[in-house]
């Protein structure tokens, strides 16, 4: 294998598949940028950029490093958007009183009004039990009347069988996919799940299993009493959007935002396969759910809408070996290109490092990758502080935030964060400390609001550097 400036090499090849009577495959041109010896990137509807934190590894010692995989959808002019295959799942438990259920129903009505005849929608509601208020139908004029009537029929009462409601919606969506549809469950809740699966880990894993079937989930948490960790986990592992909706009167606007993102889908069924090389161990994939198949991590990314950015950080352990060139990982991105008529696209790349004894080379790092490491650490520490505070450990929470402030200041100097960005993040941490100090108790409304807002920001950072 030839080296690229004796540094990291990523070879990216994109191929599109045209399916016809002769099953002829045709390639499309992808620009490959080799201007940086440590990173090579390829453009396209979804651009791929992959880099290692270190271009060099010790010749005779083990080390750790990070790989950053950036995926960004470009601006696209769609001749025709992909059809939607949706289920809206409404929580009608007793806590949805006080106008919340009516606002949720108004938002669902607004979704029905925006659908076209190529789209499908089902209406499911849940309390203690689950009701299919309307099975999936095409959004024709006559069927829209059925959907509106089904939404109107949702009545208040019961506990919170979130698992049952979500799984019923996902099963309905699974019955009606097409070759080019965007398949999603839109889930609303204002409380803690108290029937069936209840933990973020359990329900997040359930969302991940549905994503493997091509069904994503967007989660909308209403008010201050829902489990934000649970809803965010489902959205992240289900490759959808997570919304903190403190004011239920804004639900219609939130549904409009969700519909806009679904209308601008430019790629579907995106997936990264990350296979480590000999003597390399995958320690952690940050922010994105994955499954291991031997020495390969499979990360389902769902759909991309125009301009969307997803940013994966992988932590690796590299053992000492004799080779001068170390194959760190092979990367494969695949997706259905909506812009190119739902063509199947595959991009592959290889991350390679060079073994050396040169201490200067070993000390060098890719600052863009290390910035991402610091962004992930920031988000994780904000979440840790929230967890500690929620358990009544205010001093521990403030200590975590204080240490993160110092780390952010050091990272600014070491990895080139703008002074304004460092100041902004330090101010956010100080504001969180002040709110913890001022709130009478973790259960008080200001404390709940602070936790949900800061967790929402932290979860967004885990998904994309654009949110930092």
- State pLDDT tens for residues 226-266: 989 999 999 999 999 999 998 889 999 999 999 999 999 99
User: Is a pLDDT exceeding 80 seen at residue 5?
Assistant: no
Residues 114 and 227 occupy one common structural domain? yes
User: Is a pLDDT exceeding 90 seen at residue 163?
Assistant: yes
Residues 192 and 116 occupy one common structural domain? yes
- For residue 442, being part of any structural domain is answered with yes
Give the domain CATH number at 196.
3.40.50.410
Residues 57 and 101 occupy one common structural domain? no
If pLDDT is split at 50, 70 and 90, which confidence band does 347 have? Answer: confident
Kindly report whether the global pTM for this prediction surpasses the value 0.85: yes
Residues 257 and 388 occupy one common structural domain? no
Write down which residue in 300, 326, 356 finishes a domain: 356
For residues 313 and 375, is the Cβ–Cβ distance under 8 A? Answer: no
Mean of all residue pLDDT scores within the chain: 89
Write down which residue in 302, 323, 356 finishes a domain: 356
- For residue 2, being part of any structural domain is answered with no
Specify the 3-state DSSP secondary structure of 435: helix
User: Is a pLDDT exceeding 50 seen at residue 214?
Assistant: yes
- For residue 105, being part of any structural domain is answered with yes
255 versus 21: the higher-pLDDT residue is 255
Q: What pLDDT, on a 0 to 100 scale, did the predictor assign at position 41?
A: 64
40 versus 409: the higher-pLDDT residue is 409
For residues 110 and 351, is the Cβ–Cβ distance under 8 A? Answer: no
Give the domain CATH number at 41.
2.60.40
| Tally of domains in the chain | 3
Quick one: average pLDDT of 314-329? 92
Residues 188 and 320 occupy one common structural domain? no
Q: How far is 378 from 456, CA to CA, in rounded Å?
A: 13
If pLDDT is split at 50, 70 and 90, which confidence band does 305 have? Answer: very high
Calculate the CA 163 to chain-centre distance: 20
Residue with tokens 């990137």: 41
Residues 352 and 388 occupy one common structural domain? no
Residues 102 and 246 occupy one common structural domain? yes
Residues 161 and 38 occupy one common structural domain? no
Residues 130 and 182 occupy one common structural domain? yes
81 versus 88: the higher-pLDDT residue is 88
Residues 309 and 255 occupy one common structural domain? no
- For residue 3, being part of any structural domain is answered with no
Strands, sheet with 242-245, edge to edge from the N-terminal-most edge strand: 130-138, 120-126, 84-91, 182-189, 216-222, 242-245
Q: What pLDDT, on a 0 to 100 scale, did the predictor assign at position 2?
A: 34
For residues 203 and 173, is the Cβ–Cβ distance under 8 A? Answer: no
Question: What is the domain range of residue 318?
Answer: 13-76+274-356
- For residue 5, being part of any structural domain is answered with no
Closest CA to 179 of 18, 336, 16: 336
Residue with tokens 């812009």: 339
If pLDDT is split at 50, 70 and 90, which confidence band does 287 have? Answer: confident
Residues 258 and 388 occupy one common structural domain? no
If pLDDT is split at 50, 70 and 90, which confidence band does 79 have? Answer: confident
Summarize pLDDT for 103-134 with one digit per residue, the tens: 999 999 999 999 999 999 999 999 999 999 99
Instruction: Tell me the DSSP string of 191-248.
Output: S---SS--SHHHHHHHHHHHHHTT-EEEEEEESSSS-HHHHHHHHHHTTS-EEEESSG
Q: Read off the tokens for 38.
A: 């440590």
If pLDDT is split at 50, 70 and 90, which confidence band does 74 have? Answer: confident
Residues 212 and 340 occupy one common structural domain? no
| R_g of the chain computed on alpha carbons | 23
Write down which residue in 356, 388, 422 finishes a domain: 356
Specify the 3-state DSSP secondary structure of 464: coil
**Percent of the chain at pLDDT above 70?**
91
- For residue 362, being part of any structural domain is answered with no
Quick one: average pLDDT of 145-161? 96
If pLDDT is split at 50, 70 and 90, which confidence band does 97 have? Answer: very high
- For residue 408, being part of any structural domain is answered with yes
- For residue 1, being part of any structural domain is answered with no
Q: Compute the half-sphere exposure of residue 17: CA atoms within 13 Å on the CB side of its CA.
A: 10
If pLDDT is split at 50, 70 and 90, which confidence band does 42 have? Answer: low
Quick one: average pLDDT of 317-332? 91
């Amino acid at each position: 294998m030839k080296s690229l400036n004796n540094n990291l090499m990523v070879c990216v090849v994109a191929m599109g598949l045209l399916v016809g009577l002769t099953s002829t495959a045709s390639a499309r041109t992808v620009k490959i940028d080799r201007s940086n010896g440590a990173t090579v990137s390829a453009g396209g509807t979804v651009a791929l950029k992959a880099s290692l934190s270190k271009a060099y590894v010790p010749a005779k010692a083990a080390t750790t490093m990070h790989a950053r995989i950036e995926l960004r959808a470009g601006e696209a002019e769609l001749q025709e958007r992909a059809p939607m295959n949706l289920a809206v799942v409404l929580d009608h438990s007793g806590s949805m009183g006080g106008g919340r259920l009516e606002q949720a129903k108004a938002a669902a009505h607004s979704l029905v009004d925006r659908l076209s005849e190529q789209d499908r929608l089902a209406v499911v509601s849940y309390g203690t039990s689950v009701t299919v208020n309307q099975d999936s139908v095409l959004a024709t004029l006559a069927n829209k009347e059925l959907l509106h009537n089904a939404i109107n029929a949702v009545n208040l009462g019961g506990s919170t069988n979130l698992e049952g409601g979500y799984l019923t919606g996902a099963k309905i969506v699974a019955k009606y996919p097409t070759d080019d549809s965007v398949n999603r469950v839109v889930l609303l809740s204002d409380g803690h799940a108290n029937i069936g699966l209840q933990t973020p880990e359990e329900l997040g894993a359930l969302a991940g299993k549905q994503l493997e079937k091509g069904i994503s989930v967007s989660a909308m948490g209403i008010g201050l009493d829902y489990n934000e960790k649970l809803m965010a986990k489902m959205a992240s592992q289900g490759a959808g959007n997570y919304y903190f909706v403190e004011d239920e009167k804004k639900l219609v606007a939130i549904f409009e935002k969700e519909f806009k993102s679904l209308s601008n889908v430019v790629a579907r069924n995106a997936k990264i396969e990350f296979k480590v090389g000999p003597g390399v161990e995958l320690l952690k994939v940050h922010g994105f759910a994955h499954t291991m198949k031997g020495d390969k991590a499979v990360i389902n990314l769902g759909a991309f809408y125009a301009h969307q950015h997803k940013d994966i950080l992988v932590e690796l352990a590299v053992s000492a070996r004799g080779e001068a060139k170390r194959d760190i990982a092979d990367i494969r991105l695949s997706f259905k290109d909506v812009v190119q008529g739902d063509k199947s696209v595959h991009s592959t790349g290889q991350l390679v490092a060079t073994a050396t004894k040169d201490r200067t080379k070993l000390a060098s790092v890719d600052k863009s990758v290390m910035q991402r490491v610091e962004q992930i650490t920031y988000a994780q520490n904000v979440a840790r502080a929230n967890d500690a505070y929620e358990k009544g450990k205010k001093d521990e929470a403030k200590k975590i935030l204080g240490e993160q402030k110092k780390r952010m200041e050091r990272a600014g100097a070491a990895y080139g964060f703008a002074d304004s960005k460092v100041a902004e993040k330090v101010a956010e941490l100080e504001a969180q400390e002040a709110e913890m100090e001022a709130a009478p108790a973790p259960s008080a409304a200001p404390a709940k609001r602070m936790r949900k807002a800061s967790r929402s920001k932290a979860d967004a950072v885990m998904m994309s550097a654009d949110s930092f």
